[in-house]
Amino acid sequence: MIGHLDHDFPTGVVPSRVDLTKPGPGRKDDTGKLDITLLFDDMPNALEAVVEVLQWAVTKKQPVPYERGSWQGVEPFQVRYRAAQLRHMLNAAKAKVQGRAVESHLARDHETGLLELAHIATDVLFQLEMACRDVGASAA
């Protein structure tokens, strides 16, 4: 057995074989909490595509990779990341018109080789993260 269980399971219940879709004898108060599995279970490929963009930026960007988290210090933030988002949208539209992609959502970024849509999603997530932080700060 890997790890240590600090509690006992009812007789006959093997942790690795517990049916998570049926209520069991234990208790977990999830009412009113976000179901994060909606994101991970329904969109694993999209999440991976965004992480690929982020990982490319911190490992392969030339001439020098970005420092992890450095996106947070860009000013004026919303203007610059909206501009980046729109550039990737334009590149995707042009790729379809120029025959470099069957559909614009399949277009690839010329620098990274990754989907333009993954770059767009990354730019939107940067903007959303900062907007959420701003809303949280103003609510406090």
Report which residue type is found at 41: D
pLDDT of 5 over the 70 cut = no
Q: Name the average pLDDT for the chain.
A: 87
Res. 7 pLDDT band, cuts 50 70 90: very low
User: What's the confidence (pLDDT) of residue 131?
Assistant: 95
Contact 44, 50 (CB under 8 A): no
Compute the distance between CA of residue 63 and CA of residue 79 in angstroms, rounded to an integer. 24
User: What's the confidence (pLDDT) of residue 9?
Assistant: 46
pTM summary value: 0.77
What average pLDDT score do residues 19-33 get? Answer: 78
Digit-coded pLDDT (tens) for 49-105: 999 999 999 999 999 999 999 999 999 999 999 999 999 999 999 999 999 999 999
Nearest CA to 60 out of 112, 114, 137 is that of 112
Structure tokens at 56: 């490319």
User: What's the confidence (pLDDT) of residue 93?
Assistant: 96
pLDDT of 30 over the 60 cut = yes
pLDDT of 8 over the 90 cut = no
Domain ranges for the chain, please list them. 35-139
What average pLDDT score do residues 27-43 get? Answer: 91
